[in-house]
Amino acid sequence: MAGQALLLVAFVLTAQLCGCTAYVGGGFSVEFIHRDSPKSPLYDPKLTVHGRVLAAAQRSTAQAAALARSYTTIVSPSPEGAVSEIISRPFEYLMYVNIGTPGTRTLAVADTGSNLVWFRCVNGSSADPPPPASGSDAHPEDVVFDVSSSATYGRVGCNSGACHALPATSCDASSNCNYLQTYGDGSNTTGILSTETFFFEDAPGGCVGCRDRPQLVVHEVNFGCSTSINGPFPWNGVVGLADGNMSLVSQIGAVTSLGRRFSYCLAPYNVNASSALNFGSRADVTEVDAVSTVLVPSPFESLYTVALESVEISNSTFTVPPDQSHLVVDSGTSITYLHEGLLDQVVEEVNRTIKLPQVSSTERILPLCYDATGMTEESILEKMIPDVKLVMGGGAVVTLKARNTFVQVDQVTVCMAVLPVGDLPFAILGNVAQQNMHVGYDLDKRTITFATADCTTTYPSPPASL
Ligand SMILES: *[C@@H]1O[C@H](CO)[C@@H](O)[C@H](O)[C@H]1NC(C)=O
Ligand SMILES: *[C@@H]1O[C@H](CO)[C@@H](O)[C@H](O)[C@H]1NC(C)=O
Ligand SMILES: *[C@@H]1O[C@H](CO)[C@@H](O)[C@H](O)[C@H]1NC(C)=O
Ligand SMILES: *[C@@H]1O[C@H](CO)[C@@H](O)[C@H](O)[C@H]1NC(C)=O
Ligand SMILES: *[C@@H]1O[C@H](CO)[C@@H](O)[C@H](O)[C@H]1NC(C)=O
Ligand SMILES: *[C@@H]1O[C@H](CO)[C@@H](O)[C@H](O)[C@H]1NC(C)=O
């Protein structure tokens, strides 16, 4: 039946004087905003850096429990008879997207664990907007996309490939493609699959000699126009970055020469700096110590999974049993989760080398904490905590430095930011473990590449030396 309309792409440079042809083939970078950072509208100035770390740990714990529940529940058919996709709950990083013509600038959750791109949507400013999702407060930056204000809004028929690419869709009387997107914690959203023009502003400094920031314009992006939202979504929508056909990275890859690849460089929690989310050649991880490992076919839909073969600390090597080797690389979980047996060995080995009094953290979330009274954070983190080396499939060795394995939870306490998987069927490499690393996902090559990097300076990116 009706095939998808031909997707078109154009690179529009807003400044006429811009000598940015190199940029066109090169890719672009958007700001990747941690939800608790000063750049985020969710920023709480009353919360200290330590308080933010604890809040993130608490969210991780709640998320892991919800995920574990969803993976132990048989995936059940939705009322429409389709099987819904059960995926993680994203909520740690945000990004801006401009939708429609003229553009509506909206801040959305960026999620490496799901495919659908969706936004809160109305038809006509007099229409009732979908209420802010239950459990989340209204924010001044709440934006509802009004389809009647855009000249480029379109709908996707329910016989289209795009409609079939989603796991839980149905056809309404007008042949619109109705979707249901379910998240791991049971929250969900429904709406009508649509198409729109999206544009993304490149990072300042990304283009030498540009008067304004260049933009990447992508026409006819398939996205969900959500009119029903059930769950504590903190923002206006979700940008799926997983490797299904409907994710933003796949759609950009399908219609540009940028490829199906993205990378991020996460600035540490304790630094007031933005992180970067890169597409195209800027997502190539070319740092000298870059190591790549292959994505393994995952029984867990949508999640980027690699094989963890062993862990090396000092002179000890701990082999991971093959049936526990699935390691999900995730930006939306703060803490790292390891299977119990391995975690015990890691804790024992790390504890052997740290000569500080052991304490339990106030909130008793994290398993291994030390009293560091009288010491500077630098002296503890840089001198006392051993590197933890993750040996991944193909021999890639990713070295976790002290700041990737330990967080300071109050003035005098440092804790290991690693927890047991509990009922989760896989381990998770969380975002603390990925701080100050350039992490690149190449969906065409089926690899994830890691390199050490100073992520405090990657956004705005330095002027391209092209
Ligand atoms: C929006 O509402 C107007 C007026 O009711 C209607 O004519 C139009 O078809 C609607 N647009 C969409 C995309 O539903
Ligand atoms: C995704 O796209 C590829 C290539 O266009 C196609 O072969 C595949 O069937 C699509 N998958 C889905 C689920 O639509
Ligand atoms: C969506 O979430 C709401 C509120 O949690 C729930 O009542 C409803 O059953 C869910 N719908 C589906 C189809 O999962
Ligand atoms: C973070 O840095 C920005 C400038 O880069 C500054 O305007 C802002 O006040 C800083 N916020 C905090 C909490 O230090
Ligand atoms: C590692 O092994 C070497 C040689 O056997 C030894 O000298 C060193 O002390 C060991 N290091 C640790 C941290 O155990
Ligand atoms: C850490 O080592 C100390 C002794 O050095 C011991 O008392 C404590 O039980 C150890 N903790 C863990 C979690 O292994």
What does the pLDDT average to over 32-58? 82
> Is the minimum distance from the CB of 272 to ligand 4 under 6 angstroms?
yes
- The stretch 50-77 carries a mean pLDDT of 65
Lowest-confidence region among 48-57, 62-71, 183-192, 368-377: 62-71
Compute the mean pLDDT over every residue in the chain, rounded to the nearest whole number.
82
- Which of 36, 146, 243, 330 is catalytic? The answer is 330
Q: Is residue 319 within 6 Å of ligand 4 at its C-beta?
A: no
Tell me which fold the domain 285-454 belongs to. Answer: Cathepsin D, subunit A; domain 1 (2.40.70)
Cα distance between residue 429 and residue 388, in whole Å: 13
pLDDT at 47: 81
Q: Which of 285, 303, 318 is nearest to 391 (CA)?
A: 318
Q: Is 65 helix (H, G, I), strand (E, B) or coil?
A: helix
Question: pLDDT over 90 for what percent of the chain?
Answer: 48
Identify the CATH homologous superfamily for domain 2-280. Answer: Acid Proteases (2.40.70.10)
Same fold flag, 2-280 and 285-454: yes
Q: Give the nearest ligand 6 atom to 348 CA.
A: 14
Residue ranges of the domains in the chain?
2-280, 285-454
Structure tokens at 176: 């619109």
> Is the CB of 182 within 6 Å of ligand 3?
yes
Which atom of ligand 5 is least distant from the CA of 314? 13
Catalytic one of 111, 185, 202, 442: 111
Q: Which of 340, 344, 351 to mutate to test the pocket of ligand 6 (most atoms within 8 A of CB)?
A: 351
Q: Say which ligand is closest to the CA of 316.
A: 5
**CA 238 to ligand 2 center in whole angstroms:** 22
| Best-predicted range by mean pLDDT (273-282, 293-302, 330-339, 430-439) | 430-439
Q: Is 138 exposed, middle or buried (0-12, 13-18, 19+ CB in 10 A)?
A: exposed
Section 203-228 average pLDDT: 81
Q: How confident is the model at residue 10, as a pLDDT?
A: 35
Query: What pLDDT shows up at residue 261?
Result: 96
> What's the CA-to-centroid distance between 164 and ligand 2, angstroms?
9
State the distance from the centre of ligand 1 to the C-alpha of 198, rounded, in angstroms.
Answer: 21
Residue 66: pLDDT above 80? no
User: What is the pLDDT confidence band of residue 302, given thresholds at 50, 70 and 90?
Assistant: confident
Nearest Cα residue to atom 13 of ligand 3: 78
pLDDT of 78 higher than 50 = no
Considering every ligand atom, which ligand is closest to the CA of 346? 6
Average pLDDT over residues 56-64: 74
pLDDT of residue 381: 72
What's the pLDDT band for 136 if we cut at 50, 70, 90?
low
Mean pLDDT of 30-49: 84
From the CA of 357, how far away is ligand 6's center (Å)?
Answer: 9
Is residue 7 pLDDT above 50, yes or no? no
For 79, residues 6+ apart whose C-beta sits below 8 A from its C-beta are none
pLDDT in the model for residue 405: 94
pLDDT, position 383: 72
The residue ranking higher by pLDDT, 428 or 4, is 428
Per-residue tokens: 55: 């809040």
| Known catalytic membership, residue 330 | yes
394 lines ligand 4 (CB under 6 A): no
pLDDT over 60 at 122, yes or no: yes
For residue 116, which of 29, 243, 227 has the smallest C-alpha distance?
243
For residue 14, what pLDDT is reported?
A: 34
Cα of 197 from ligand 4 centre, angstroms: 32
Q: Which atom of ligand 5 is nearest to the CA of 386?
A: 13
Is ligand 1 within 6 A of the CB of residue 159? Answer: no
pLDDT digits (tens, 9 = 90+) for 337-388: 999 999 999 999 999 988 888 988 666 678 889 988 888 777 777 678 999 9
Residue 111: active-site member: yes
Cα–Cα dist 290/283, whole Å:
13
Residue 206's pLDDT is: 61
